[in-house]
Amino acid sequence: MTFRACLATIACATLLPLHAPLHAQTWPTRPVHVIIPGAPGDGADLAGRLLGQKLQEKLGQSFIIDNRTGAGGIIGSVAGKNAAADGYNFIIGTAGSHGINAAVYASLAYDPIKDFEPVILINKTPNVCVINPQVPASTLGEFVALAKKEPGKYAFASGGNGSSAHLSGEYLKMMAGIDLLHVPYKGATPAVQDVLAGQVQLFCGNLPPAIPHIRSGKLRALGVTTLTRSRELPDVPTIDASGYKGFESVAWFAFFAPKGTPADAIQRLNRAIDEILKMPDVREKLQAQGTEPIGGTPADLKQFQASEIEKWTKVARTAKVQL
């Protein structure tokens, strides 16, 4: 090899390590498409639009929100699975679409783990277990004692079969060893209304529809389903601290990408969102919605998602829940 050729080889070798980081820094070069498997105004949509605005400011490209509603998140998830894995298509998966669905459906048109790349866990929202004040129980322990004394007498409402509230109620039944009748409704609002009316005794669902009635005294909160107390209900104990160690049932939202998406796009999006979730104004807006910002690495999300599917699969099998 000539001296000039040797110098050229050395120069190329010197430049190669710089190429990958430089390529990563060029993403994104055009607008990014983000599928929301839910309706405008729901939790995933609010989080997605807040982050989309901040990502545009940070990365210099538009993040276009595309709501694909229906079938408990299945329609949006299939669209996310089939989107081009080019670094310009993502989906905000939910506890239902990328967790519970895998546990309760006999078959799905997508695999929440195999068909997607994890990016980052955005936030977690606690459920809260509430009862009608006519029920003679002030604590979760007292309610469990009543249910054990008269098996089958008490019922719990949910927003529908396979919903977060349904599985939360079944999870409580399993851990407490009690027999409760499940009464499904078409949404959380009518479920809460029937608990208010005394038609059903218990509801373990998302905070927003229950909080006004807790504060007014029309519903009695027995416990929140996160491992730490809720900022919105600081006086309400966790179910975990009420004697059911490890009990956690949360609504959550996370960024995923179609399988095969370039790693550099995933890594840069992860870093950008993780930094955004640490911004005081973003944290304040999310916490005002009763949710807690999380962040972390793709590996953190992968581990969390696997643990969620494992937990809900066990609950669904025990309760014989299959859709």
Residue 214: which CATH number? 3.40.190.10
Q: Is 44 helix (H, G, I), strand (E, B) or coil?
A: helix
Domain that holds residue 53: 31-125+251-319
Verify that 212 and 131 share a domain, yes or no: yes
Verify that 143 and 219 share a domain, yes or no: yes
What are phi and psi for residue 67, nearest 5 degrees?
-80, 120
**Inter-residue contact 44 to 206 (CB < 8 Å):** no
Number of Cβ within a 10 Å radius of residue 271: 14
Per-residue pLDDT at 120 exceeds 50:
yes
The last residue of a domain, from among 179, 213, 242: 242
Verify that 131 and 142 share a domain, yes or no: yes
Residue showing tokens 């416990």: 223
Give pLDDT, residue 25: 62
Distance CA 259, CA 14 (A): 32
Residue 226 lies in a domain: yes
Verify that 229 and 131 share a domain, yes or no: yes
Residue 14 lies in a domain: no
What average pLDDT score do residues 77-96 get? Answer: 96
Verify that 182 and 228 share a domain, yes or no: yes
Per residue in 43-86, pLDDT (tens digit) is 889 899 999 999 999 999 999 999 998 888 899 999 999 999 99
Per-residue pLDDT at 18 exceeds 70:
no
Residue 88 lies in a domain: yes
Residue 151 lies in a domain: yes
Verify that 262 and 160 share a domain, yes or no: no
Verify that 133 and 223 share a domain, yes or no: yes
Q: Are strands 292-293 and 155-158 parallel, antiparallel or unpaired?
A: unpaired
The last residue of a domain, from among 219, 242, 265: 242
Residue 208 lies in a domain: yes
Q: What is the pTM of this model?
A: 0.81
Residue 68 lies in a domain: yes
The last residue of a domain, from among 214, 242, 270: 242
User: In the chain, where does DSSP find H-type helix?
Assistant: 3-26, 43-59, 74-82, 101-104, 140-149, 164-176, 188-196, 207-216, 263-276, 280-288, 298-319
If one counts the domains in the chain, the total is 2
Residue 65 lies in a domain: yes
Per residue in 159-214, pLDDT (tens digit) is 888 888 899 999 999 999 999 999 998 878 889 999 999 999 999 988 878 888 99
Give pLDDT, residue 11: 45
Number of Cβ within a 10 Å radius of residue 301: 25
> The domain spanning residue 79 has which CATH number?
3.40.190.150
Contacts of 13 (CB under 8 A, 6+ apart): none
